[in-house]
């Protein structure tokens, strides 16, 4: 993997982690169970993406 490609993967990891943290915060503060579940699903999806990007390294 070239250094530039590695930078792209690191950037993707950072963005995915940020989105995961935002969704986790939302899931922890939302009162509506449907919205809370959707936010948790976003957390789970971003966790899977994070793992996939991490496996590229």
Consecutive 10-residue runs of the chain (57 residues): their mean pLDDT? 92 96 96 97 96 90
Return the pLDDT at 42.
96
pTM of the model: 0.84
Rg (CA), the chain: 14
Return the pLDDT at 25.
97
CA 45 to CA 30: how far, in whole Å? 18
């Amino acid at each position: 993997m070239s250094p530039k490609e590695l930078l792209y993967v690191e950037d993707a990891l950072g963005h995915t982690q940020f989105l995961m943290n935002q969704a986790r915060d939302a899931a922890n503060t939302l009162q509506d169970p449907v919205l809370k579940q959707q936010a948790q699903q976003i957390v789970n999806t971003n966790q899977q993406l994070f793992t996939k990007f991490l496996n590229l390294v």
